[in-house]
Amino acid sequence: MAQVLEFRLPDLGEGLTEAEIVRWLVKVGDVVTVDQPVVEVETAKAMVEVPCPYGGVVTARFGEEGTELPVGAPLLTVAVGGAADADGDADSSGNVLVGYGTSAAPARRRRVRPPRPGARPADGVPHTVDSVDGLAPAGTVSAAPAAVLPAAAQAPAVEARTLHADGVRHPEGPVPVISPLVRRLAREGGLDLRHLEGSGPDGLILRADVEDALRAAASRPGATGATAFTAAGAAPGARTGTHPPTTAPPTTAPAHTAPGVDAAADRTATGGTRIPLKGVRGAVADKLSRSRREIPDATCWVDADATELMRARTAMNAAGGPKVALLALLARICTAALARFPELNSTVDLEAREIVRLDRVHLGFAAQTERGLVVPVVRDAHTRDAESLTAEFARLTEAARAGSLTPADLTGGTFTLNNYGVFGVDGSTPIINHPEAAMLGVGRIVPKPWVHQGELAVRQVVQLSLTFDHRVCDGGTAGGFLRYVADCVEQPAVLLRTL
């Protein structure tokens, strides 16, 4: 007898809570093998192909391309060839993505779940899932897709909800909301969140749930705010409980609720284009905002004569072998400077009120792509020579442009090198890449008049800037670091002392 297994969106690591479906790689009816990629998703950090831990026939897909799903939401169901034994020893994946692993599933508690309001199969295939406790990645569907329980049999499985005098089912206990933004939107719109059933994991109320409810409320003539929603019960388009009331008592919205809905409508009607702050743009906004809130930063800068550094690079590349990138030479100077000033290769533990000095240098570098700004990380940069750094920069840059960087490629940095000179600008005061303690900025290298050996000459000049966390060091340390970097740029032979 066939067994249908549900595969849920796994935790892709680094605290990511949702992903957007970019492209389905399989369709209903396709035969898939264990660890075959089935969908391409975009997270806030990278594009990822998600492999399925089961082999069999795809019976349903959840979500169209462009849909954003939370971690733990169903992705697809697969009918495997043979029934698993009672211990759930079905073939499982050898792929180790966070969220599902290589071992057999834990003991299952069999219960029938009602269909999730926001997670109907994209291809219209009904199914009945045996849910795994918690947010395990897979569930078991009894027998096969044909063995579907009628809706009446599924209704009693709706978990603890009480029918109150107002005719609306309320969840018992606290309202399942995490985001302060969701609460604010509901408050401004005059919605009682107890009337909403969330479409997120374990009934979590998401922003989309509130926005859908507001739209449904605003579309009802003669009703505003909470009045429209409670009068509508399970209004079409609103994500509500599975048992809407047949009648609703007449209620009157408080006078202060109408402006909330009207203001929301006015904001949409004032013109302009609204662009969702999500994906890479949203991740950048969150991280930079946190950096500004938490880090008391300061910036110092200096002009340096880079003529000798450019000549040294030309000589290296003329000697044969792999070409050495200028960014690699600057990175090598950074790692040498961090060895002298380790305070800047650190982070601040706010809970412990401690500065943590890090033994290894994982060097991030800013890269602009079509998807936005990303900061790939070169691991153990302090152990690499100029050729190795050049090769790693090239690999990560190509992956960034292709959108194939993994979360591991984009996290764990301890210091960032920002070459904004590629944009044709001289200087900048960049925002520190939280939770790091410093960032070195490099402007464009251009011919400028410069006093060299007592005479005015045209030299290749660059502006260097250092933004640092004033909690980890004082200006003397930061100035010493920047001056050492400038000395190495002006006289590359200085580096020989540390090689």
Cα–Cα distance for residue pair 347/473, rounded to 1 Å: 11
Q: What is the DSSP letter of 102?
A: S
Verify cis geometry, omega within 30 degrees of 0, for the bond prior to 435: yes
Own/partner long-range contacts of 231-240 (Cβ < 8 Å, ≥24 apart): 233/167, 233/168, 237/212, 238/196, 238/212, 238/213, 239/117, 239/118, 239/196, 239/197, 239/198, 239/199, 239/208, 239/209, 239/212, 239/213, 240/117, 240/195, 240/196, 240/197, 240/213
Which one of 127, 426, 470, 487 is the catalytic residue? 470
Q: Do the beta carbons of residue 212 and residue 235 sit within 8 Å?
A: no
Q: Using the 8-state DSSP alphabet, how is residue 351 labeled? A: T
For residue 135, the one-letter residue type is L
Residue in the structure block whose two tokens are 């009446």: 152
Q: Among residues 11, 133, 474, 487, which one is catalytic? A: 474
- Classify residue 284 as exposed, middle or buried by CB count within 10 Å of its CB (0-12, 13-18, 19+): middle
**Burial degree of 248 (CB within 10 A; 0-12, 13-18, 19+):** middle
Tokens (6 digits) for 363 = 């060097």
Is the CB of residue 283 less than 8 Å from the CB of residue 45? yes
DSSP element (H, E) containing 393:
helix 386-402
Joined together, the tokens standing for residue 181 give: 């933004």
Instruction: For residue 263, count other CB atoms closer than 10 A to its CB.
Output: 12
**For the chain, what is the radius of gyration of the CA atoms?**
29
Helix (H, G, I), strand (E, B) or coil at 140: strand
Q: Has 164 been annotated as catalytic?
A: no
362 catalytic, yes or no?
no
Count, residues in the chain: 499
Strand spans (E) along 86-211: 129-130, 138-141, 161-163, 169-171
Residues 189, 190, 193: CA angle, nearest 5 degrees: 100
Q: What's CA 135's distance to the chain center, in Å? A: 19
Return the bridge partners of 23, or none: 40
**Phi-psi sector, 329: left (phi>0), alpha (psi -120 to 50), beta:** alpha
Coil, helix or strand at residue 164: coil
- Active-site residues, by number, are 470, 474
